[in-house]
Structures are given as C-alpha cells and as structure tokens.
C-alpha cells in the first residue's frame, strides 16, 4: 500500500474528498464502538463483532488504496520538506493499520470456532479499542495535513504549523 518514493506529498482536494465521502467507514466505526462498549458480559456478541470487523477490514483496504492512489503521490514538483515528511509518515501508517485490523479480524474469526469466553473476547475488544484510537489519530493527522497543504497553497509557511 505504501509509496516508496523519497518525497511524498498529498493531493489535498482528493484526500479530503475520499475522507468526506466514506460514510460507510464512519458508520461502521460507530457501530463497532457501540458493540464494544457493552458492560454486561452476558450481552457479548462475538459473531456480530467478527462480521463487523471483517467488513471494516474490507472497507479500510479500499479506503487506504484510494488514499494511496489518489490522495498521496511521490516525487512532487514542489518539495515542502515538512509536508513531505508528514505525508510519508502517515502514508506508511496505512500498512501498519491494515495489518493490525487484518490480525484482529483473523483472531475474531478464529475465536468463532473456539468456545469463546469472556476473557478472550474482552482481550479482542481491548485490541480493537487500541486500533480504533490509532485509526482516529491517523485520520485526524491526515486532516491536519490537508489543512497544511491548503495553507501552503495560500502562501503560508507550513514549517510554522509544526511543533516538532
């Protein structure tokens, strides 16, 4: 999924459009979060969790592929070092995030064939919550990157926007 070029930047308009139009991703994340927020262990739904996680994996695969293909590109004509550095870091996270959701989906699927108990399912939910947090952080940072690209297009210096 990741672009291996030395300089990567974003196409802010396409990246924002991909994000704004992915309502299925947003709704699925909300549904999964609600399912994982069940306090009473008697209401656990491992089969539903597995089904939704598999859907999430498929949607994220398409989402990241679209972002990699249309939202990120390598060897830009204008190199803005801070923008390139952030774009590369965030683009590389697509692989990490996809591998994690894939592992969670595989584990959820495997747990369907075992006698699922509260401890196994609770660990799986905890792993999903950690993934969810990382995905939301990633998406937020990509939105920040879009705004930085817009600032650059407007003639502002992106270096002043980063506190590194």
Structure tokens, 97: 């995030």
Per-residue pLDDT of the chain (164 residues; tens, 9 = 90+): 434 446 888 888 888 899 888 899 999 999 999 988 877 666 668 889 999 999 999 999 999 999 999 888 776 656 777 788 889 999 999 999 999 999 999 999 888 776 666 677 888 899 999 999 999 999 999 999 988 888 776 666 655 555 54
- Looking at the DSSP assignment, which residues form a beta bridge with residue 120? none
Q: What does the alpha-carbon distance between residue 46 and residue 59 come to, in Å, rounded to a whole number?
A: 20
């Amino acid at each position: 999924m990741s672009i291996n070029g030395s300089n990567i930047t974003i196409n802010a308009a396409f990246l924002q459009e991909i994000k704004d139009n992915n309502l299925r991703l947003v709704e699925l994340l909300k549904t999964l979060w609600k399912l994982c927020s069940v306090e009473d262990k008697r209401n656990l739904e491992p089969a539903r969790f597995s089904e939704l996680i598999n859907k999430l994996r498929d949607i994220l695969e398409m989402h990241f592929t679209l972002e990699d293909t249309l939202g990120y590109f390598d060897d830009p004509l204008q190199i803005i070092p801070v923008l390139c550095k952030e774009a590369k870091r965030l683009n590389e996270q697509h692989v990490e995030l996809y591998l994690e959701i894939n592992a969670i989906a595989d584990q959820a699927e495997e747990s369907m064939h075992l006698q699922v108990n509260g401890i196994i399912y609770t660990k799986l939910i905890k792993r999903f919550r950690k993934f969810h947090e990382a995905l939301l952080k990633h998406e937020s940072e990509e939105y920040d990157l879009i705004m930085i690209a817009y600032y650059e297009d407007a003639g502002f210096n992106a270096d002043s926007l980063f506190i590194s």
